[in-house]
Structures are given as C-alpha cells and as structure tokens.
Chains A and B, each alone.
Chain A
Amino acid sequence: MSGARRLLILGGLALVIWGMGYGLWYAVFAEHQALDGIGASLATGFAGAAKHDGAAAQAALTRYREVKYVYDRQVDIHSHWIGLAMLLIVLGIAYERVALGERLRYLLALGLVLGAVIFPLGVLLQTLSHGAGPRAVTVLGAGLVIGALGGMALGFARGPRFYRGGRTAS
C-alpha cells in the first residue's frame, strides 16, 4: 500500500472516530440545551414585544442570535468531520486509480487530510471567536479540500490506460 493511500485511509478512520465522538458529546451535552435556548429566547423576545417591552425583546433576540450561531456551527462541524472522513477513506481505497506521479499523489492526499481536519476546526473556532482568524482557517481548509479534490478528479479522469496495471497493493 502506498504512503498516500495509507495516509488517506488511516486519517479517514481516525477522523470518523473523532467526528462520532464529537457527535456523541454534542448530542448528550449540547444539542438539547441549545435547542431549548433557541426556543426560549425566541418566545421571550416575542412575549416582551407583546408587553411593549422593546428592550427585553431585543435582548432575548440577541441571545437567540448567539445560541443559533453556535448551534448551526456545531451541527456543521459534526457532519463535515464525518463526511470528509468518509471521503478520505473511499478516495484512499480507490487511490491506486489516480493516474498522477507518486509525489503529486502524496501531496494531494496530504492536502485533503489537512483540509478535512482544518476546515471543520475553523468552524469550531468560529464558535469561540467571531474574528477574521477562524474564518481564515476555514477558508484555508476548504481551499485545501477543493484543490486536492480537483487534482484527484483530474487523476481519475486520465483514464484506465494510466492505471498502475489495475494492481491491488497490499
């Protein structure tokens, strides 16, 4: 088995476990609380409006915005880590059919693994800070994933005559 293929498969499996562990933690300790917070802040906001209490309504809606911002990202983190992990594994399994030079194949695999870790990590950091740093991390991760995927698509598209003899590596 080539180093690139091993990197993709083992990186993907590790990321699946990590993503599921994160999902389990999220389901037990965060999801219900977040949903309760979203519902309660919305209801409080409109109840405040019904009492002509604009300030209370605004405060509750600001709270809604903050909780929803974090909730949406936590769902995205869980789904993207697991989704990208699956992509790493399946592409790793099919990687012998990417008809490119060994060095480029390894760089593409490394880029995809790094992107798969960094992209949801950037989203996670966005829940801690609203600054430009976490967004830049997210953009970097997404760019790595798209660039690596584009390179691999090119490798697959080069056709079966470029396959390494259809061989199965150990």
Chain B
Amino acid sequence: MAAEFAPLSARRLLVLGGIGLILAGMIFGDIFAVFVLHQNAARVGESLAAATQAALAGDSAGVLANFGSVGGFLENRGTKVDTHAHMIGFGYLALMLAVVQPWIALGERSRKRLAALFLFGAVLLPVGVFLIHYVGLVYSPLESIGWASIFADLGGFFVLVAAAVFLWGLWRHFSDAARPAVRDALLAEHNAASRLLLTGGVLLILAGFVHGAWYAAADLYRHETTDYNLLSQMAAGAAARDAAAVNKALGEYGQLQGEKGVNIAAHAHVIEFGLLAILLAFFQPYVDLRDVWRRRWAGVLLLGSLLLPVCVLLELRYGLLAGGFADSGGLLVIVALFAMWIGIVRYTGELDAAPGGAAGKTGGAR
C-alpha cells in the first residue's frame, strides 16, 4: 500500500490534490451561499421588478437597462456556481484516477506528469471561470469570448487530455493478456469507517435519484410552464398598464424561482455528497487516525451530507433558519473532510520518515 503512495507519486498527487480541490470548492461554495447567493437573487428580483415597472410606465429604455443588470447578476451567479461545481467535480475525478493508478499501464514518470497536468487544468478552469465576470471582453481577440473564458477552456482541455491518456493507459493494461495481475493493497483493506462511508454514500445517491425522478415527474414541466405563464402575465399586464396583475405575477415568479432553486440544490448536493462518501471510503486506510476517530469523522461527514440537502428543501417553509442549518451541514462536511485530509498528510509524513522512505514501509495506517 505504501509503495503506491511514494513521495510525489501520481497517486499521492491526485489524492492530496483531489481532496484539496474538493475542500477549496466547498469552502468557496459555503462563502458563496452565505455572502453572495441570497443577495444576488434579491438583486435579480429587484432588477426584474424594476424592468416590469419600467414596462408598466412605457419606458423602453428603462426595460433594457434593467434587463442588462439582470444579465450581469445572472452571469455573476452562474460563473460562481460553475467555479464551485467544477472545482469539486475535478476533485472527485482526481480521487477516482488515484484509485485506478495501479491499473494504468504507463511509466511512473508519465503518470506523475499527467497527474500534474490534470491538477493544473483542474485549477486553471475554475479560476478562469471565476474571472469571466470581472475580466469580460477586455483585450479579447474574439467577439464574444474573453481571455478568462479562453484560459478556462484551456484548463478544461488539459484535464481532457490527461483523462484521455489515463484512459489509454487503462486500455493498454486490460488489452494486454500477458500483463501480470495487479494486486492493490489499498482496495483490499476494509475497515469500519470504509463500510460506513460506502453504505451511507450509496444510500445518499439513491435518495438523490429518487428525489430527482420525483421532481422531474411532478414539478419540472409545471415549473417550466408556470415560468413562461408568469412572464407572459407580467408582459401582458405591463402592456395593459395593469399594475395589480404585474405585481401579483412578480410575487409568484419570485416564489417559483425559490421553489426550483431549492429542489435542484438538494438533488445535486445529496448525490455529490454520496459520491464523495464512497470515494473517501477507498482512502480510509491512508487516514492516519485512530479507528474510533476515523468512524467519528465518517459519521460527521454523512450527517452533514444529509443535513444540508434536507435543510435546503426546508428553506421554502422555514426560510433563513433552515438556510442556516443547511450551511452548518456544509460546514460539518468541510470539517470532516479536512480532518481526513490531515490524517492522510500525517500518513505521508510517517511514510517519508520511515527508514527507506515509502517503499520501505509495508504496513497500513493505524
């Protein structure tokens, strides 16, 4: 197990980099949720209301100006959601690539370089996406795509190339019948924390899929139709100078956006946390903490993973109180993940300090 986790090996780079990306993405997401999301939604609502009032007053220029503001706020929100989602998504992918390293038929040096390229792209893309809103089209050689977008796409390209070459290495392994069987001690080792994370993770994902299917069947098309109908009512009310109809439609439109938002957020988060729990189950042997603490941190992670989506769904009924609990759930996940990351860093230190380095140590973590 230790030999595959040698200093600056592809697996070590991908494990530590992957968890680091997930942590950074989650911290960014929590900051975004607390300081940006609700304020931004309020500004979008205010601008939409102002645009409708301008239409009511027959002020075409006012309509266009306010919709310009809505576009800006939505781009601001969209790029931050993308930053959060891609950082975490690439972190998950890094952990998966770390698991399959022993089956990738490439030299260690090539795998190390590919891991570095992957992590570089995985950082470049979200940073580029984050900057899109602020850089805009300044000095851009293209009509509608700015430099931040170009670098974000370049980051995505690096990730794509690295993932494709890893896939090719995997194909080389399995297509060569003469290649000796690989035995990976990491996957052979089971402990209570791994079992807890694995079972809890699959149940979280199942819950997320069932919720998603229920939402798609019961609410998705109704929400889409209502969205269009309410906008039509606003426009028709404004054309007819009917302020009461416009205000009524505006109020319902805000409520609809909230309903859509919490359902999508709950669905996405419960599945992502389930996937994270399963991925972390594989690396528990590397978490150099006592068994009881590994179980506790696994429990904290699962508790936070359930608390966040459930409280997000309750936001419609209980407002900011439920929102506060949801943010606490996110914080529990972050703390548990950080504790596991520290445990893995402790393991690397122990390996590197052992006589002969990583290769000289054959045992697992405590």
A46: contacting residue among B67, B157, B216, B268, CB under 8 A: B67
Q: Which residue of A lies closest to B212 (CB)?
A: A142
A28, A39, A49, A97: the one within 8 Å of B235 (CB)? A49
Overall SS of chain A's interface: helix
B145 & A24 in contact (Cβ 8 Å cutoff): no
CB within 8 Å of B: which A66-105 residues:
68-69, 72, 79, 82-83, 86-87, 89-91, 93-94, 96-97
- The answer, yes or no, to whether A45 is at the interface (CB within 8 Å) is yes
Q: How large is the interface on A (under 10, 10 to 19, 20 to 34, 35 or more residues)?
A: 35 or more
- Write the nearest CB–CB distance from B89 to chain A, whole angstroms: 7
Once the chains bind, are B224 and A69 in contact (CB under 8 Å)? yes
Binding site for B on A (CB under 8 A): 1, 6, 9-10, 13-14, 16-17, 20-21, 23-24, 27-28, 32, 35-36, 39, 42-43, 45-54, 57-58, 61, 64-65, 68-69, 72, 79, 82-83, 86-87, 89-91, 93-94, 96-97, 138, 142, 145-146, 149-150, 152-153, 156-157, 160, 163, 166-168, 170
B71 interface residue (CB < 8 Å to A): yes
Chain B proximity of A48: nearest CB distance (Å): 7
Q: Which residues of A contact B240 (CB under 8 A)?
A: 54
CA distance A51 to B58 in the complex (A): 6
Q: Which of B54, B63, B85, B271 has the most CB of A within 10 A?
A: B63
With CB as the reference atom, state the residue of chain B lying closest to A159: B195
Q: With a CB–CB cut-off of 8 A, which chain B residues contact A28? A: 145, 153
Pairwise interchain contact A149-B239, C-beta atoms closer than 8 A: no
Partner of B239, one of A27, A49, A89: A49
A54 & B174 in contact (Cβ 8 Å cutoff): no
B250-282 contacts to A (CB < 8 Å): 268, 271-272, 275, 278-279, 281-282
In the complex the two chains form, is A10's CB within 8 Å of B182's CB?
A: no
A170 to B213, CA, bound (A): 36
- Establish whether residues A149 and B238, one from each chain, have CB atoms under 8 Å apart when the complex forms: no
- Give the distance in Å from the alpha carbon of A166 to the alpha carbon of B186 in the complex: 11
B293 on interface, CB distance cutoff 8 Å: no
A-B pairs, top 7 by smallest CB distance, nearest first, are A170-B181, A43-B67, A49-B238, A168-B188, A49-B235, A50-B55, A57-B235
Is B206 an interface position by the 8 A CB rule?
yes
Interface string of B52-78 (1 = CB under 8 A from A): 101111111011100110110011001
Whole-angstrom CA separation of A45 from B70 in the bound complex = 14
New A-B pairs, 17, CB < 8 Å, besides A17-B160, A146-B213:
A16-B93, A20-B156, A24-B156, A24-B157, A35-B71, A39-B70, A45-B235, A49-B238, A50-B63, A54-B239, A58-B232, A79-B85, A89-B96, A94-B281, A96-B187, A142-B216, A149-B206
